């Protein structure tokens, strides 16, 4: 087993230990999911204009957002920044591994493990239980076809890689700063707004849509969700997948450059 697959497996298993937190999170995400559904129900009932997505598409978007919320890198990697701050990074440097890849696979495992515990119960409840208890109008619908499902899974996989790349990129800024708290406080604001987790991005003003195209955040949730609900189809799916791949490559390259340059200027004090 390579050191990268080993760290992926180990950190994934660590995340699986937090079962109580996962069940509490499911309850919380259902609660906030219902709040969002009620808000958009009122919005559609009172609106006379044609909306960028129909109501059923919005419902799918909202429930997928609640089920897959923890893909998003809301926080920097505290373990990594603590290693840098305390000087224990010296132990990391002694490993015969590519440090960037080592940290990248750790970030990927955190995303995957956190989502794994919650996604199946959330999908089961919103897709299969809701219709049986009279909530079929706000239930998560299955994908329109096998082709849509496969493209969704491809895009969702890319979202994990993109989120991990952003997490490492933000975390290694600690190589240049005394404290990473500033980045840690600033990052959630961009992630919450520009990923589509609060409001689906198509509902933002058209003047902002072009801005979203030049940011990596929509590739973490908005693109896979709009493939799933049918809002993106045909060539739009392929172009969106290319956007995700571009940002993965760009953030990985930038992160690797930052790690390499940061390590060259690193001074570990103590003795």
Using one digit for the tens of pLDDT, what is the confidence trace for 69-107?
A: 989 988 777 777 777 777 777 777 777 788 888 889 888
pLDDT for residue 248 is more than 70: yes
Q: Are 65 and 221 in contact (CB under 8 A)?
A: yes
The predicted pLDDT at position 200 comes to 93
- CA distances for 96 relative to 9, 93, 169, 206, 257, angstroms: 18, 8, 21, 49, 19
pLDDT for residue 254 is more than 70: yes
Chain segment 126-137, per-residue pLDDT in tens: 999 999 999 999
Closest CA to 219 of 259, 165, 270: 165
Q: Which domain holds residue 165?
A: 3-264
What pTM does this model have? 0.89
d(CA 84, CA 175): 7
14 or 119, which is more confident: 119
Residue 115 lies in a domain: yes
Residue 73 lies in a domain: yes
Residue 270 lies in a domain: no
d(CA 110, CA 270): 31
Residue 107 lies in a domain: yes
Chain segment 16-49, per-residue pLDDT in tens: 676 677 777 888 899 999 999 999 999 998 887 8
Counting the structural domains of the chain, the total is 1
Chain segment 60-71, per-residue pLDDT in tens: 999 999 999 989
The mean pLDDT of the chain is 86
Residues across the chain: 271
Residue 155 lies in a domain: yes
Element (H, E) at 35: helix 19-46
Residue 88 lies in a domain: yes
Residue 271 lies in a domain: no
Q: Is 83 helix (H, G, I), strand (E, B) or coil?
A: helix
> Of the given ranges (84-88, 188-192, 207-211), which has the lowest mean pLDDT?
84-88
d(CA 235, CA 140): 25
* pLDDT band at 271; cut points 50, 70, 90: very low
168 or 188, which is more confident: 168
* pLDDT band at 268; cut points 50, 70, 90: low
Q: Token pair of 20, please?
A: 């109580």
Residue 269 lies in a domain: no
Chain segment 148-163, per-residue pLDDT in tens: 999 999 999 999 999 9
């Amino acid at each position: 087993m390579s050191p990268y697959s080993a760290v992926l497996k180990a950190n994934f298993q660590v995340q699986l230990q937090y079962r109580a937190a996962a069940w509490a999170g499911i309850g919380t995400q259902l609660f906030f999911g219902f709040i969002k559904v009620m808000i958009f129900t009122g919005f559609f009932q009172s609106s006379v204009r044609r909306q960028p997505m129909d109501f059923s598409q919005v419902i799918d978007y909202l429930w997928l957002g609640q089920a897959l919320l923890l893909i998003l890198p809301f926080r920097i990697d505290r373990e990594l920044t603590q290693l840098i701050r305390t000087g224990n990074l010296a132990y990391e440097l002694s490993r015969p591994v590519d440090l960037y890849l080592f940290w990248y696979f750790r970030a990927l495992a955190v995303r995957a493990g956190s989502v794994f515990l919650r996604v199946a119960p959330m999908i089961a409840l919103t897709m299969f239980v809701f219709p049986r208890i009279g909530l079929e109008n706000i239930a998560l619908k299955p994908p329109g076809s096998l082709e849509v499902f496969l493209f969704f899974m491809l895009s969702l996989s890319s979202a994990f890689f993109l989120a991990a790349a952003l997490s490492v990129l933000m975390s290694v800024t600690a190589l240049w700063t005394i404290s990473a708290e500033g980045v840690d406080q600033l990052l959630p604001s961009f992630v919450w707004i520009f990923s589509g987790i609060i409001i689906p991005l198509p509902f933002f003003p058209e003047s902002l849509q072009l801005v979203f195209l030049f940011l990596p955040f929509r590739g973490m949730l908005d693109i896979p969700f709009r493939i799933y609900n049918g809002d993106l189809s045909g060539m739009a799916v392929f172009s969106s997948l290319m956007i995700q791949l571009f940002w993965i490559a760009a953030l990985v390259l930038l992160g690797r450059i930052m790690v390499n340059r940061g390590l060259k200027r690193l001074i570990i004090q103590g003795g």
